[in-house]
Amino acid sequence: MSIESSVNSAALSPIMKSGPLPIAREGYPFLLISLALTLLGAWLFWPLAIAFGLAFLFCLNFFRDPARTPPADTGLLVSPADGTVLKIESLSSGLYMKEPHQKVSIFMSPFNVHVNRIPCDGKVEEVHYFPGKFFVASLDKASLENERNAVVMRTPRGQKVAFVQIAGLVARRIVCYLHENTPVSRGERYGMIRFGSRMEVCLPPEWKVLVKPGQKVFAGESSLAEMK
């Protein structure tokens, strides 16, 4: 397993370019292959056309990339992923932030939008990839044992934020286009996880978390916390 990355520089914007359609470019090969197989199945054996047609529709849904608009209040940290808030924890230390912090865990089902977005303005300090297993992403042990990619950044006020892409049971590829010393903007696309996964966001303990377990959130739009 490996991280897909692109050669970019601090001057390149956006980090992850959108395509001409509201579909992530990373999904084009899957869509073309499943569509070709659908057409081939229609010619050879119609049950195959139905099966491959359903695969095409699944990929079309999975790789959708709708436009998102962050809230007008720049003091709000937005969700980096679509999904459901699993839990909110207060920790004295962790793998990505050694100091006390809060952690918000978000579960992304295969039916959520999987394009990930930057939660706040700032500059990337560290990017760490960890190979691992593929437990169900909703399980707590997925945080420590699954394949994952962590990004640590600083806000313009010097506060540290970390966000972690975690592969799930079905996911087999983490895509991250960020590099160290990259300036980033809130709501900007930066990667995705294929297929089904988990996102964790670590933030300073003094920030006010605005979500609750069970709440649905949307990348680049939903406010996770009020920055102080």
Positions annotated as catalytic residues are 197
Largest Cα separation within the chain, whole Å, is 62
Structure tokens at 115: 């394009």
Residue recorded with tokens 């294929």: 194
Determine the Cα–Cα distance for residues 2 and 200; give it in Å rounded to an integer: 20
Determine phi and psi for 124, rounding to 5 degrees.
-70, 130
The alpha carbon of 113 is separated from its chain's Cα centroid by a whole number of angstroms, namely: 9
Cβ contact 145:131 at 8 Å: no
Cβ contact 150:132 at 8 Å: no
User: Which of 202, 194, 170 minimizes the C-alpha distance to 80?
Assistant: 202
In whole angstroms, how large is the CA radius of gyration of the chain?
A: 18
